Structure formats: C-alpha cells, structure tokens
Amino acid sequence: MEEIIKKVKTPFNWRRFWVILITTVVGIVVVFGILVGYTYSYNKKVLPGVYLGKIPIAGMEAGELREFMDKMNDKLVDEGLTINYKTVDKEDSFKIYPVLVSESNSLELVRIDVDAEVKYLIDYGKAGNVFSRIGSILKARLSYPNITLHNIEIDETRLLEMLGSELSQYETQPQDAGVEISSIEPLQYEITSSTDGVIYDYKSILGQVVNSWEILQVAEDLQMEQSFVESKVKKEDVEKIEDRLGDIFDDGGLNLQYTDPHTRWEYEWWISLEQIKTWLNVQPTVENGFGFGLDDDELIGYLKDTVAIKVNREPRDAKFEFSEGDNKANEFQGSRPGIALDFEATYDLINQAILERTWHDEGITKSISLVTERIEPNVKTGDVNDLGITELLGIGTSDFSGSPRNRRVNIQNAVDKLNGILIPSGEQFSTIEFTKPFTIEGGYLAELVIKGDEIKPEIGGGLCQIGTTLFRMAMNSAMDITSRRNHSLVVSYYNDPTNGNPGTDATVYDPAPDFRFKNDTKNYVLLQAQVDWDEQILYFSLWGTNDGRKGYYSNPVVLEWIPYGETKEIETIKIDPGSRECQHAYTGANTTFTYTREDADGKKEERVFESHYRPLPQICLVGVAKTCSPSPDNPDEEVCVPISEVEIPVEEVVEGEEQIEE
C-alpha cells in the first residue's frame, strides 16, 4: 500500500508579526525622540565637535561665547601685529598696536564684532527643518568641522597710515619721463629719464590680519611683500611728441569761468603759461597715445586752495529754534541749496584742453566752465509751515567737568552745528554727517592720542561727548537706535548720570563708528542743543509730536570689573632720550542695561545693550638714544636707530657718563 505523505502548510503567525512591527516602530520613535531631544538641547549652544581654528567651542552658550570672544579680542589687540619686511640690504620687522587711545576716546582699528559672531556661531548648522538639523548635528559630531569668524571689522585707512609711517622710508615711487622747462620764450627744456619704483603691498597685510583673526591667532608672521613698479612713460615716449611742446604754449593760458547760481555773480580765474609750465607732464592716453597734460595733484590743489573758496557753499536748511518757555519758534531761516566744486570733473576738462594741443592745431579750447554739484537742503522753506514741532519728546545729558580747553571748544563747535537741525519723518540722523568736517577750518582743535609708538595731535577730541548725549536723548525720546558702539575703554566723562556706571555711552570717530537714530514718527523732529558752562553739563533735547510713545532705559549695571595690569613701556626714538609720555590706565568692565520703547497701546519693545570695555594698562612712551648715519642708498639722507642696537666700543664710553640701559 502506497503511503501518502501530506504536506501541511503552517498558518501565518499574525501575532508575532504585529509584535515585531510595533517593537520596531516604537524603537524608531524612541530613537527619533532621543535624536530630536539631543538636537534641541543644542538650540542655544554651539553644535558638538565644532572648532574655531584650533580652539574647541562645542557646547558653548551665548554668554560663554561672548566672554570668550571679548577676552580673545583683547588678547589679539594687546599682542599687536608683527610686520616682517625686506629691503635691498636687510630683513627686519616692527610691531604696531591696532588701537588709538586719547583722554576722551579709544578705538580699536581691528575688532571682532562679538554680537554678530556669537549669533553666527550659535546658528551654525541649524537651518532647515528638524530632519536637516538632526543631520547637521550628527555630521558635526562625526566630522569635527573647523569654522572661521565672519565679522572682523578693520579700519583700513588708519592701519595703512601706520604701516606707511614705518615703511615709506624704504620705498621709491616710480618716476615717469617728462620735460623740465627752464624758459618759455625762447623755449628751453630738457627731457628727463624715467625710473622704476620699489613699493610695498600694504593691502596684502590687511588680508593676512583678517585671516589670522578669523581663527583667533596672534598675527606674528605677517609678511610685507615688496614689488617693483615700472614707470608709465619712458624717455622715448616723450621724444615722439617733443616737436609739439611749443604748441602747448603758443595757444596761451586758460580761462576758468563760474556764475554763482544764488547771487548770479560771475567769477573768473586765469591759468597762466607759467603755471602750465610748472604743472606740465606727459600722460598716456587710450585713443591718441602720449600727450602733454597737467599734473592732477598740482591742479586739484590749485582748485581747492584758490577756486573752491569762492564756489563752495554749504546747503542751508529752513530752521526753527524754540524757547522752552513758550514753545514757539523765535527764529526763521530760509533754505538754500549748497554748491560744491567737482574737482575731478573740472580737472578732466582742463587737462583735456591741454592734451588737445598735443594733437590739434584748430578748435583749441580757451575757456573752461567749472563743473559743480548741487546739494539739496534737508528741509526746504516750503516745508516749515507744517512740520509738527509741538512739544518736547525727550532730553539727554552728560557731564564734561574737567575737560581741557580744546575739548570744550570742540564741544561748543559741535553744539553750534547741531542746534536747530530738523530731521524729516523716516530719515536717519547721523552724528558725523552733521558735525563734520573734523578740521581746524571746521572749527575743531586737536588733542593728543597714542598711535603706535608716538603721541600725536588729532583733530576733534570731545565728539564722543556729543554722541553719548545724543544716545541718551534718543532713548528718552523713544527713537529707533540704528547705530551705536560703546567705547573700547571706560572713560569717566561718559559714565551714566543716574548711578555713575559705564554703559550708556556712544563713541563717534570719523568715518566710523557713528551714532545714528531714525525718526520713525510721522512728523519732523527738531534737535536742540544747549551747554550749561557754569555746571559744565551738555543738554540735547528732541522736539516733535508725541504719538503716545514712551522711551526709557534702566540704570546700567556693571557685571564685572576687569583689572588693567602692569604698566607697558614702549621704547621710541621719536621723542627726546630720557623723556616719558604716558596715557592713563583704564580698568575694564562688562556692563548691561535695557532700553524700552512703549507705544500708545502699552506694547513694549525691549533691547538689551551689553558693552565690553577692555582693560588697558598705563602706556608710556620712553625716549631712548639714537645714532644716525648716512643712508647706503642716498648719502644725503640719514638712517637713525636706537643706540641699544649699535655695538659701542669700550674705549668710546667716557668715564662718568650715565649709560643707557636697554
């Protein structure tokens, strides 16, 4: 009998399937929840594994980052910049400290924008939805990303000045070939040869400084590159147009003409053949090759010194000034557009007229009309009848007791410029714009500041008294603060009048930083300035139409005082040997206060101002002896070095003389 084997099919185990599925889903949810929780634990921290250059910053919160960045910024400024350079016969280096210090101001020329960097570092890798953020945090955990800072502020102009003061003695500018004219009638001249130049690439240093500071490294290996610059005009180029030199003078001088648009008075200036002879040079042009033209520095200098004083007129705004007693306008001034001579455009016209004489015999230009720019006033006369100047919005004060004479003069000069300024609705007020130019001609006097290893006079000390007082006025008037930076140092003039603490100051230094606020009311506002010379108190008040808003700020609080350390001495040969010139020491501080704007409905907008003031030891310039010898490149020039760098034979030391210690 045949055995029949039956295969029995096992039924599907649904119970087991659901157990596995649910377990898997629960596991995924748990893991996802853990990842989400882990990710969001870094919401206010730097992602794990992140390095800033060689420095680990993973897990730092905003407060830690800000403290860390402030300390590193101070360290980089204190260490200074070591610049290595080469000359024809040596390799050497020098050090500059990127900070300007005076009795009433301080400014770092290279600076980390700490607030912007803290935000960037906290936000790094956190864009997108939750899944992309989980991916970013896992990637950071495994790859240890190395990032750099993105907000390094550098004052190029002043740093380039400091570099040039050290290295310009080793540079030679290229000299173009040209003609030296000894006589016009009869024409006698000599063609001069060209020489190539040797210069330093100053701007390359600025890039190196930024690269170092981006990873918080002391800039010790900055290399100043020297390059050769070829002259643009050779002797053979001049010889090609030599036969046209007489035509330049045969056509006579040039007449400059200008009619004042306000008075309709006519002015004329005559550029004589003698001036043309002095300013004449040879220039390459695109269309016609080489030609005889005029030196731009010489001609523009003439326009500034002789012509512009008759042409330039500042715009004049329509202006009301109010007495606080009856709140009525007691002075009226009609508006007037300003006029400014366009130096570059006027030079181009004059220069082109001379160049044409090289190539043409007919159609020669004999007269030039000056090119000017019209500068519209901020407030025209037609506006002043409906400005909405009705009541006091807020007042700011500061105490300048003990200020030296030059500083007091500067404060009064700025007050005179600011008093009565009208600011249209929606416009931004700039302290620098309304108080410049910061020159002797602009009414300002000089005070001393430290620049590297020298103490030099600088025009405009005391402007930060203006910026600080305006800052307080703008807050008390509930204005929108658009630009404010605290000083680098704690300066007693700017301590808050409520409790004497630092924190409510605003530094002003042309062209930056500036203090600015926006008139975000629906009407004009009027700025009033007043000085109480008996009490030495500066007042700024803002008038307008109150739309129900309130503005106020809390008393500044010092979170930490930072000791300034030991005195720093800088040896220099730029002052007399044995003499000593010092700046004050400054205790550092970290401060905070809150500025509140409250609208008519009671809605509040709060803004926290945190300020870091770096500690600065007393800095003294100490004069050391020097020895001078003829330059190996030019016997008519001297090269001087500190005497400590020169080996003095024993027999040259006179008995009884005081020796100079290094």
Rounded to whole angstroms, the Cα distance separating 189 from 276 reads 14
User: What does the pLDDT average to over 375-394?
Assistant: 78
Confidence of residue 332 (pLDDT cuts 50, 70, 90): very low
**More confident call, 295 vs 450:** 295
pLDDT tens-digit map of 110-151: 888 888 989 999 888 888 787 777 777 788 788 888 988 888
Residues 6+ apart with CB under 8 A from 644: 571, 624, 625, 660, 662
**More confident call, 607 vs 379:** 607
**More confident call, 219 vs 209:** 209
CATH code for the part of the protein at 245-375: 3.10.20
Rounded to whole angstroms, the Cα distance separating 426 from 335 reads 20
Statement: residue 1 has pLDDT above 50: no
- For residue 244, give the DSSP letter: G
User: For the chain, how are helix, strand and coil distributed in percent, rounded to 5?
Assistant: 30, 30, 40
pLDDT tens-digit map of 605-659: 999 999 999 998 888 888 888 777 777 767 777 777 777 554 434 333 333 333 2
Q: What is the pLDDT of residue 655?
A: 33
User: What does the pLDDT average to over 430-449?
Assistant: 88
User: 0.85 cut: is pTM over it?
Assistant: no
User: What does the pLDDT average to over 473-480?
Assistant: 96
pLDDT tens-digit map of 85-111: 888 778 888 888 888 777 777 778 888
Confidence of residue 451 (pLDDT cuts 50, 70, 90): low
Cβ–Cβ under 8 Å, residues 415 and 451: no
pLDDT tens-digit map of 494-546: 999 888 999 999 999 888 899 999 999 999 888 888 899 988 999 999 988 88
User: What does the pLDDT average to over 201-214?
Assistant: 86
Cβ–Cβ under 8 Å, residues 618 and 602: no
Residues 6+ apart with CB under 8 A from 573: 623, 624, 625, 626, 640, 641, 642
Cβ–Cβ under 8 Å, residues 503 and 468: no
Most distant pair of Cα atoms in the chain: their distance: 148
Q: What is the pLDDT of residue 661?
A: 28
Residues 6+ apart with CB under 8 A from 456: 448, 449
**More confident call, 386 vs 450:** 386
User: What does the pLDDT average to over 357-378?
Assistant: 91
* Helices and strands (H, E) in the chain, number of each type: 15, 41
User: What does the pLDDT average to over 156-185?
Assistant: 90
Q: What is the pLDDT of residue 6?
A: 54
User: What does the pLDDT average to over 173-182?
Assistant: 93
For residue 573, which of 530, 613, 617, 622 has the smallest C-alpha distance? 622
CA angle 453, 458, 464 (to 5 degrees): 115
Rounded to whole angstroms, the Cα distance separating 644 from 434 reads 49
Q: What is the pLDDT of residue 646?
A: 42
Q: What is the pLDDT of residue 452?
A: 57
For residue 386, which of 540, 518, 545, 519 has the smallest C-alpha distance? 545
Q: What is the pLDDT of residue 449?
A: 64
Confidence of residue 9 (pLDDT cuts 50, 70, 90): low
